[in-house]
Amino acid sequence: MIKPIKKFTIGSSVFFKDYFTEYVEKDQDELQIMDTFLPKTNVLNLKDGKKDVFFWRNMDKEGFITDTLSSNLPMRAGKFLVKEFTDYLGFTIDDLKRLGPMFERMDERHTYEKIIYESYVQNGDFYLTDEQRLRAFNEYKKRRPEIYKKES
């Protein structure tokens, strides 16, 4: 039976849930690294109600970087903004910089991730200042007018 080795909370809640009372959690994103995996694929996604689970093959950091860059799916880069995940991989800011082209191509609803990426690079480490977090959150809200009404 396939079992998870490690689970990580990923997505916007990591950056905003404990910091902004007005944050609305649309769903819960989770990454699970599995002990064994299907051949010829590195990731599977399962949506279960308000939970979105991404099952990943157990790879080293180079495997994750290569998979992300070759996927042509910018949203795969977001997990590298989660400090718990980067610590697990031994991921560095120099590793993150290699994924810069992915953050440049984020879809409109995930441009907040580009702000977080740029902040980490500017800071030289995986943390946000209060000002950087607020800037990312304002971008997050701006791209979700159906949840956050435009302030007059």
DSSP letters along 59-80, please? Answer: --HHHHHHHHHHHT-GGGGGGG
Q: Domain range spanning residue 133?
A: 4-142
Is residue 130 a part of any domain in this protein? Answer: yes
Domain count, the chain: 1
Residue 147 lies in a domain: no
CA angle 88, 94, 52 (to 5 degrees): 45
State the sign of the Cα–Cα–Cα–Cα dihedral 125, 12, 3, 58.
negative
Residue 97 within a domain: yes
Residues 6+ apart with CB under 8 A from 116: 15, 81, 128, 132, 136
> Looking at the domain assignment, is residue 150 inside a domain?
no
Question: Given this model, what pLDDT does residue 38 score?
Answer: 86
Residue from 10, 13, 7, 40 nearest 26 by CA: 13
Whether 22 maps to a domain, the answer reads: yes
128 assigned to some structural domain: yes
Task: Kindly state the tokens that stand for 55.
Answer: 């099952």
pLDDT along the chain (152 residues), means of 10: 94 97 94 93 92 96 97 96 98 98 97 98 98 98 91 50
Residue 152 lies in a domain: no
Q: What local confidence, expressed as pLDDT, does residue 136 receive?
A: 98
| Token pair of 95 as six digits | 């590793």
Is 121 among the domain residues?
Answer: yes
Residue 151: predicted pLDDT: 58
pTM value surpassing 0.85: yes
